[in-house]
Amino acid sequence: PRPQERRTGEGDAPTPALPRPQERRTGEGDAPTPALPRPQERRTGEGDGPTLPPPMSEVHDGGGPGWGLLALDARVVVHGPEVQRHQLPKLAIRAYPRQYVKPWTMKDGTPVTFRPIRPEDEPMMIKFHETLSDRSVYMRYLHPMLLSQRVTHERLSRICFVDYEREIALVAEANDPHTGERRIAAVGRLSKLHGTNDANSTMLVNDAFQNRGLGKELLRQLLEVGRAEKLSRIRATIAPDNIAMQRVCTTLGFQLTKAPDSLMVNAVIEL
C-alpha cells in the first residue's frame, strides 16, 4: 500500500486523507466549519441580509469602521430676482384660493363665512338641497328639478371638485339655529364662458336665510372675485317673476334687459 493509505477489508470505506490545517473533522450531520470571517464582516445566518457597517454613534474619533460623514451643498435657482410675481407661469392645478375667505355678519348678528367650495363639502351640499323649497329650486334652475337628481354623487362631485382656473364657487357657511352645527346657507358661482373673458353668475340661497341680506352680500362677494380674477363682465339670467333678485342686481350695478327669444331677464355688469 501507499504510505498515506492502508488496506481495507471488503466493504470498508476508503480511509480519507488527513484534514487541512484550517479545518477539523466534524461528526456525521454537522455543518462544515466555516473559514474565519474577514475583519470588516461577520457570517450571517440563512436568510439574513448583508452586514452593514456600525452606526455613526459607534464610530469614534481616530478612525475605525463606519460610514463616515458626507456633507452636501446645493443651490436651486427657480427664477432671477428681476422676475415679477405676475410674470411667473401658472400652476397646472391651481391651489385653493384662500384670499376669497371672508367673514361677514348678517343684520340680526348671525356670523357668516364666505369661502370657496371644497371637495369635502359634498355631505353639507346634500343637506343644503334637502332644505330647499320647490320655488327656490325653480328660481335657480329655471325649471323643476327633483331632489334625487340634485344630490347624486356624480353631480355633486362636479360641483365640489372645482377647477379654480375656470370657475369659482363660493359658499356662505353659518351655524344652524337649531343644532348649532355648521351648514351651508347659500351657494354662488362664477363660471367663465369659453372663448371670452366673461363669466356667468348663478346663486341659490337657503329658504331660512332669504330676505336677510345674505343673497345681496353673496353677489357682492362674487363681483369682488370677478374683479380680482380680471374678468371683463359678469352675466346672469333671472326668471321674470324673481323680482327680489332683479332688485338686488339693479342695486349692485347690473343692467337688466328682456331676452328677445324668451321671457327671461338678462343681467350684465361691466367690471
**Lowest mean pLDDT segment, chosen from 80-94, 118-132, 193-207:** 80-94
Can you tell me the mean pLDDT for 28-38?
55
- Average pLDDT over the chain, rounded to an integer: 82
Give CB contacts under 8 A, 24+ apart, made by 63-68.
65/40
Q: How far apart are CA 110 and CA 174, in angstroms?
A: 8
Q: How far apart are CA 97 and CA 91, in angstroms?
A: 13
Chain center to CA of 209: 31
Quickly state the pLDDT bin for 72 (edges 50, 70, 90): confident
Cβ neighbors of 196 (< 8 A, separation 6 or more) are 232
Asked whether 43 and 31 are in contact (CB, 8 A), the reply is: no
* Residue 127 in this model has a pLDDT that exceeds 80: yes
Convert the pLDDT of each residue in 201-257 to its tens digit.
Answer: 999 999 999 999 999 999 999 999 999 999 999 999 999 999 999 999 999 999 999
* Residue 137 in this model has a pLDDT that exceeds 90: yes
Outline where the chain has alpha helix (H).
122-130, 134-141, 147-150, 153-160, 214-228, 243-251
Predicted model pTM: 0.66
Q: How far apart are CA 15 and CA 32, in angstroms?
A: 19
Name the grid cell of 74: 446645493
Query: What is the CATH superfamily name and number for domain 96-231?
Result: Gcn5-related N-acetyltransferase (GNAT) (3.40.630.30)
DSSP reduced 3-state for 104: strand
Chain center to CA of 171: 18
The pLDDT value given to residue 4: 55
The C-alpha cell 337628481 sits at: 149
Quickly state the pLDDT bin for 150 (edges 50, 70, 90): very high
The pLDDT value given to residue 248: 96
Question: Please, what sign has the CA dihedral across residues 92, 95, 99, 101?
Answer: positive
* Residue 175 in this model has a pLDDT that exceeds 70: yes
Better pLDDT: 187 or 22 = 187
